[in-house]
Structure 1
């Protein structure tokens, strides 16, 4: 019999965390699910742990594959999924016992394409509840157009949209397949952003369980997510390409400013991470120069009014706009840890 929910978990070298993740799903008050563990070429004991779980619960299926990164692993999960809805969980995170019960009840009640809850951000030091600056409740297609299109890709204050965290969403599987909504496997960083934006553009309805902090996001400051690499910068440029390719051809809303603000966010993100590299000051300044003088970064400022942000951030943006590499380097490198 078809399960209600397919839970897709990409797994890569997480032997310290994977038990906590899987156990949190098995302890759900709602039990009509399957778990799809996509072992993405792990070289620790993660694959063996997945196999052990599959032996004790027939709802758990394991796919072992060569490493192809998280976007490809999630796509494998979508293709394998038998559920009516699909959920993505990162293998070092975990969920509260009532998450799927709370979400599936609303999904069925409103015949939803997408539903979202809130999350808790947990580090080794503390736990912080996070919510989004949009209203809770039901959104029709008209509500989505009127209330969410203006922040579908990026908020005006250079913040990501609510759907940036794909793991706090439950998706109707047929909806994803109808619009061919898969992850771009050439994008290895911020893949949630472009996927979430496309999903919400196509969705005929949406529900936000505001204040329901069901998902637990484990923040690791040493993660590759928080480290600058040249590959990451090229991935950021690819995101910009794909956003332009998709959203600049839409007729029902002008997304051009959001695309520029997104590129500005990615630029600031990359520059901010350079400060923490284990390199000399001159090497860091060279990397900063390469980014600030990149044609794609210069293109942000064509007919572009600066966003309404705090004055320190606005000053940093002006240094980027006018290619003041030395001043920008002084600004961020003097604040390096």
Structure 2
């Protein structure tokens, strides 16, 4: 069977959440999908659950590997998939039943290599904690040669997008790097010509205690390492003249997103090391405090779109720069 989309699902010790994730995939209104599950060395009952679904559904493939981390699990999934497009779903999250159908149709309609939807953070009971709209002010079809705005304001999630398979021909998720999405997703955009988007909130992103994103350590500095990886590709790409969007990318990912992580680091020596690296990058990129203060995302000043506590925090960091 020719699959329209291959959905890559890395799994590591998520037996409590896995069924809800897989049920949302097998009930997609788009039936020409392949589900590739990579068990990354789970020690719980995740594989028993996976085996149940493999027996019951012909379009599910199970691969077991030693624990190598999220990047290697995704890369392994890509190598063992065959769909025209590739999607990534985290094994504790779930998606709307129309996500793959609607996004694939948008890709075909606009000859787009990447399609983006919006997300919402949810708790373990499915209650919406926060909606995360993605570039709602932009049109459904985005010709990147004419409008590169999305690069300077996007969230670097892998999970709320589908990608033309060919984009991965020379790009893979880096091993042993925290924030592998920041190092990878922007580089895929740099290879694309057309992006399509829907304003629908198709992806349900679970916020739970103990997940990797809730542990705040020196590994957070990898976000800045990831930006440096993107820089190498940016200045070799067809979009290298879009310096304003490049600076906006650094402001959002390197200042706002990085410091959102930095705020929860408790070790003062680690915090100093992280902040010093940030200052160095901003100096090299010639990004001023005023440019950070004025940064607009989705057409609005980003700083003043935040709550008062966050505004005060970021202003204090600006003073320290």
Q: TM-score, normalised by structure 2?
A: 0.83
Query: Post-superposition shift, 1:194?
Result: 2.6
Cα offsets for 1:246-281 (capped at 9, x unmatched): 224554332653464233335413421124xxxxxx
Contact 2:18/2:91 (CA < 8 Å) preserved in 1?
A: yes
- Output aligned runs, 1:63-102, within 5 Å: 63-102=63-102
Contact 1:243/1:259 (CA < 8 Å) preserved in 2?
A: no
- Equivalent residue for 1:137? 140
Contact 1:267/1:291 (CA < 8 Å) preserved in 2?
A: no
Instruction: Please state whether the residue corresponding to 1:167 is helix, strand or coil.
Output: coil
Matched, 1:269 2:260: yes
User: Which of 225, 236, 244 is the matching residue for 2:231?
Assistant: 244
User: Which of 187, 199, 213 is the matching residue for 2:188?
Assistant: 199
Instruction: Please state whether the residue corresponding to 1:245 is helix, strand or coil.
Output: helix
Contact 2:113/2:164 (CA < 8 Å) preserved in 1?
A: yes
Provide the C-alpha distance between the structure 1 equivalents of 2:270 and 2:167, rounded to a whole number of angstroms: 42
Provide the C-alpha distance between the structure 2 equivalents of 1:301 and 1:315, rounded to a whole number of angstroms: 18
Provide the C-alpha distance between the structure 2 equivalents of 1:240 and 1:107, rounded to a whole number of angstroms: 27
Quick one: structure 1 residues 198 and 44, their matched pair in 2 at CA, closer, same or farther if it must change by over 3 Å? same
- Equivalent residue for 1:106? 106
Matched, 1:167 2:159: yes
Instruction: Please state whether the residue corresponding to 2:146 is helix, strand or coil.
Output: helix
User: Which of 260, 285, 290 is the matching residue for 2:273?
Assistant: 290
Query: Post-superposition shift, 1:286?
Result: 3.3
Number of residues of Structure 1 aligned to a counterpart in Structure 2: 296
Quick one: structure 1 residues 243 and 105, their matched pair in 2 at CA, closer, same or farther if it must change by over 3 Å? closer
Runs of 4+ in structure 1 over 6 Å off? none
Larger Rg: 1
Provide the C-alpha distance between the structure 1 equivalents of 2:165 and 2:314, rounded to a whole number of angstroms: 42
- Equivalent residue for 2:222? 235
Provide the C-alpha distance between the structure 1 equivalents of 2:272 and 2:144, rounded to a whole number of angstroms: 43
- Equivalent residue for 1:335? none
- Equivalent residue for 1:217? 205
Q: Which shows bigger deviation, 51-60 or 234-243?
A: 234-243
Provide the C-alpha distance between the structure 2 equivalents of 1:49 and 1:14, rounded to a whole number of angstroms: 10
The alignment yields a C-alpha RMSD, in angstroms, of 2.3
Provide the C-alpha distance between the structure 1 equivalents of 2:118 and 2:268, rounded to a whole number of angstroms: 38
- For structure 2, list consecutive stretches of 5 or more residues without a partner in the other structure: 294-302, 305-310
Q: Which shows bigger deviation, 258-267 or 99-108?
A: 258-267
Instruction: Please state whether the residue corresponding to 1:183 is helix, strand or coil.
Output: coil
